[in-house]
Structure 1
Amino acid sequence: MPSVEILSRVQFAFTIAFHYIYPPLSIGLGVCLVIMEGLYLKTGSAIYQEITRFWIRIFALIFGIGVATGIVMEFEFGTNWATYSHYVGDIFGSALAAEGIFAFALESGFLGVLLFGWNRVSKGVHFFATIMVALGSIFSALWIVIANSWQQTPTGYRIEGEGMQARAVVTNFWEMVFNPSSIDRFSHVIIGSFLAGSFLVMSVAAWYILHRQFTKHAQAMFRVGLRVAVVAALLQLFTGHRSAHYVSKYQPAKLAAMEGHFDSLAVADMYLLGWVDQEKQQTSGIKIPGGLSFLTHGSFKTPVQGLRATPEADRPTAVNFVFQTYHIMVGIGMFLIALTLLAAFLLWKKKLFDQRWLMMIFVGAVLLPQIANQVGWYTAEVGRQPWVVYGLLRTSDALSKTVTANQVMFSLVLFTLVYVLLFMLFLFLLHRKIQHGPDVTQNEEEVSDLYSKRNINPIH
């Protein structure tokens, strides 16, 4: 039987990874909804109204599952991580309270208007509700990332008590909010969410195009998703570089693990592909000599601190895992840039929707931003081990003292069964909504004739 610590970490990793499928989708989809409805108000096109209403139904499904799966984690703080909860309660409490007051209330408050306000409020009011729901989802992510970022780079606090009674207390709220990593990490997470939502839109649109269903609606929604995806993919390159800079300054051991750099202080290579032998403290693979030194310091010859400069007890516990997850994230990010730019070029040449092979790629590409988001979080969280609050509280000391391994294993099995059933239900309902498609008031030929007479292009 694995230890309580390992089981508790696996349980929390499983529940948060499952939950993290949904918030990025709702955030990215919220931005797409704002654009779709904005285009409807601008053009008067019934197609934009119909695809907006279609995606609102899918947004509601994602939002509901996301809320349900997120509640479980809050209980785990008390059951499995009681010492941690006592230690960071003042910090997490203030951030989560702000999230509830300023973000979740905003999002859920306007959600009713978004879902049921058609033909009950004016077009302007409904559009305003769509914007507020989108902003609420972004603000919700902001406060969650702030709370997590404080664990990575804690500031604006003091420690009260000693030993097991020690706890962190906020001394400067805004210093806690704007800790050294919060803005960089928030921008990286949000851009990743935009990619997740936009690729969901493009995946469904590509499926319709391949099956020659709702063709004009599909082309319209694909264009919206592609606009968001191109900007987000390029911005993610910048935000990722910024995030690596904060890691190099505040968590050099994590950066060394991300690139498998062991020498205490030496020029560091950047690996494109590789494998880390943690026992031999060696990394092999395809690399750019001095690449990490250049990205970190702007010079191929500047030394970078390696893992041997950190006491062994304070180093990341799974170096190869961090190395692989980081490189999977980077690899997917570069592929998404190439894919979206290719699609944008073909759209400009008016050849995009004739490329069935590319549409097939976009149908499956919906998984890539999700995988990148997941492995990015694995890199951040496993890379900071053995600390749960970096430099202050070790993961092994953060556990509840009365929970046994058998209890954690039992709850882990139950969570797995429930979450598998919940995920199957989500896929079933999502599939039904996609099969149903947008509610088209007229056939597409009539719609095209109507808009041509009004000199309105329903797609552009």
Structure 2
Amino acid sequence: MDVEILARIQFAFTIAFHYIYPPLSIGLGLVLVIMEGLYLKTGNRIYEQAVRFWIRIFALIFGIGVATGIIMEFEFGTNWATYSKYVGDIFGSALAAEGIFAFALESGFLGVLIFGWKRVSPRVHFISTIMVFFGSLFSAVWIVVANSWQQTPAGYHIVGEGLKARAEITDFWAMVFNPSSIDRLLHVWIAAILAGAFLVLSVNAWYILHKKHLEIARPSFKIALAVATVFSLLQLFTGHRSADGVSKYQPAKLAAMEGHYDSSSRADMYLFGYVDNRNGRTSGLKIPGGLSFLVHGDFNAPIRGLRSFKPDERPSQVNSVFQFYHLMVAIGTGMIALTLFGSWLWWKGKLFDKRWLMWIFAYSVLLPQIGNQAGWFTAELGRQPWVVYGLLKTSDGLSKIVTANQIIFSLILFTLVYIVLFVLFLFLMHRKIEHGPVDYGTREEIEDGARRDNPILEH
């Protein structure tokens, strides 16, 4: 393999592994806010026990997420030095803003969230929960802004030529609100909330199936189901808006997503299929003119196809883009169907009567994770061969002195470290879930020392 392919594989591997955790922390943060808000409003200690249980899960996810995210910053400098120099002014502003306004907020209140039950009032603790949730949302803002600028650059000018060229910000807010940032941010936020909600659904479905902690599992399941239902429906609209933006600003990516080659014809919408890129043909089950209708409101409107782009300016892995995109859409549709069916049974008073449904929910934690990964691969593979769309090609962003052997060696090391981290994460997660929620007693009992001195540390 050449250096470019290896460098792309390494970065894809590290970011895909890291991307398991931040969405979980965002989605779980919202569930914590809802549960603790219900506890303050009703005084029902069931919600308190649920919150304290999920805070321990949240802390584990947050810690692994931070550890896996640091490595990517080093890769920018080692494997992608030319790219880092080119986008340094843009990314420096966005990532500095993340550190100042997001990570500091989230980590600053995290200590109160985890250790503050005996030390601050219930309202102050609730505020800290909200601040941690907002911090995770703000963190996503600046990461998505930086990545969206690569997709639809705005608010910049180019200084220098050749290897000395770099992009400089001319309008900070134009850079922040580039053409794709808002739609992509909403799409990412909702996908993250679904990841957290389905984690809560999965764990509580497991408790219900094994008849454990039912007094906490059932209300917690209902809260997560309500969140998952609302946001799975919202994702349908943000997904459409995001795809509409792709049609305007990245037409080659849209053509690859639907395997569309001929610019003079209407564009079909495939439910599933296969793209033969060598012969420029796509086969499968399709809705004739469906893509044309979604983009233009006309089943016969032509859409620009892949043949209208130069071969070196369009995605080379068209079938991969096609399959990842359709996998994401299929999972999103499945989550809508699953949550609506569950909500209907809830309304009928039969939610917990279907053991087969609880088994589906127990494994449903995988759905948003697979969907998130498929969406990310669609966005990044569809942008190729550009690392900054229309400005800098991926092959030109590589470091000039890094060798294939060096990347292979570091990739092997990263793989081993990540395997250890993932096994450790699963072990600790399983241990906490097996232990389950703990009855900590009333706040007065805790303060009087009737319970263990520090139950959060112990459990």
Q: With structure 1 as the length reference, what TM-score do the two structures score?
A: 0.95
1:165 equivalent in alignment to 2:164: yes
1:373-388 equivalent positions in 2, closer than 5 A: 373-388=372-387
Q: Aligned-pair distance for 1:119?
A: 2.0
Q: Aligned-pair distance for 1:227?
A: 1.2
Q: Aligned-pair distance for 1:440?
A: 2.1
Amino acid at match of 1:115: I
Q: Find the aligned partners of 1:283 and 1:430 in 2 and give their Cα distance.
A: 43
Matched residue, 1:283: 282
Deviations 1:131-154 (A, max 9, x none): 000000000001000000000000
Amino acid at match of 1:146: V
> Secondary structure in 1 aligned to 2:303?
strand
Deviations 1:74-118 (A, max 9, x none): 000000000000000000000000000000000000000000110
Amino acid at match of 1:71: I
Amino acid at match of 1:368: L
8 Å Cα contact 2:263-2:302 kept in structure 1: no
1:45-444 equivalent positions in 2, closer than 5 A: 45-441=44-440
**Count of residues paired in the alignment:** 441
8 Å Cα contact 1:265-1:309 kept in structure 2: no
- Runs of 5+ in structure 1 lacking a partner? 443-460
Matched residue, 2:448: none
Q: Which stretches of structure 1, 4 residues or longer, exceed 3 Å deviation after superposition? A: none
Amino acid at match of 1:199: F
Deviations 1:324-361 (A, max 9, x none): 00000000000100000000011111111111100000
Q: Find the aligned partners of 1:397 and 1:343 in 2 and give their Cα distance.
A: 50
Deviations 1:144-196 (A, max 9, x none): 00000000000000000000000000000000000000000000001000110
Q: Aligned-pair distance for 1:49?
A: 0.1
Q: Find the aligned partners of 2:97 and 2:263 in 1 and give their Cα distance.
A: 42
> Secondary structure in 2 aligned to 1:276?
strand
8 Å Cα contact 1:203-1:364 kept in structure 2: yes
Deviations 1:354-406 (A, max 9, x none): 11100000001100100000010000000000000000000000000010000
Q: Find the aligned partners of 2:402 and 2:145 in 1 and give their Cα distance.
A: 29
Q: Find the aligned partners of 1:262 and 1:103 in 2 and give their Cα distance.
A: 43
Q: Find the aligned partners of 2:65 and 2:348 in 1 and give their Cα distance.
A: 39
> Secondary structure in 2 aligned to 1:267?
coil
Of the structure 1 ranges 220-229 and 10-19, higher mean CA displacement relative to structure 2 is found in 220-229
Deviations 1:28-58 (A, max 9, x none): 0000000000010011011100000000000
Amino acid at match of 2:327: I
8 Å Cα contact 1:209-1:218 kept in structure 2: yes
Deviations 1:188-238 (A, max 9, x none): 001000110000000000000000000010001101111110111000000
Aligned Cα root-mean-square deviation (Å): 0.6
Q: Aligned-pair distance for 1:264?
A: 2.4
Amino acid at match of 2:152: T
Matched residue, 2:452: none
Q: Find the aligned partners of 1:265 and 1:374 in 2 and give their Cα distance.
A: 33
Deviations 1:1-46 (A, max 9, x none): x000000000000000000000000000000000000010011011
Q: Find the aligned partners of 1:123 and 1:299 in 2 and give their Cα distance.
A: 56
Amino acid at match of 1:224: I
Sequence identity percentage = 72
8 Å Cα contact 2:201-2:362 kept in structure 1: yes
Amino acid at match of 1:262: Y
Q: Aligned-pair distance for 1:441?
A: 4.6
> Secondary structure in 2 aligned to 1:110?
helix
8 Å Cα contact 1:260-1:320 kept in structure 2: yes
8 Å Cα contact 1:293-1:300 kept in structure 2: yes
> Secondary structure in 1 aligned to 2:272?
strand
> Secondary structure in 2 aligned to 1:119?
coil
Q: Find the aligned partners of 1:350 and 1:116 in 2 and give their Cα distance.
A: 38
Q: Find the aligned partners of 1:294 and 1:90 in 2 and give their Cα distance.
A: 40
Q: Find the aligned partners of 1:64 and 1:105 in 2 and give their Cα distance.
A: 14
8 Å Cα contact 1:270-1:290 kept in structure 2: yes
8 Å Cα contact 2:154-2:178 kept in structure 1: yes
Matched residue, 1:452: none
Q: Find the aligned partners of 2:7 and 2:312 in 1 and give their Cα distance.
A: 20
Q: Find the aligned partners of 2:221 and 2:105 in 1 and give their Cα distance.
A: 28
Q: Find the aligned partners of 2:114 and 2:394 in 1 and give their Cα distance.
A: 42
Q: Find the aligned partners of 1:114 and 1:156 in 2 and give their Cα distance.
A: 38
8 Å Cα contact 1:257-1:320 kept in structure 2: yes
- Runs of 5+ in structure 2 lacking a partner? 442-459
Matched residue, 2:21: 22
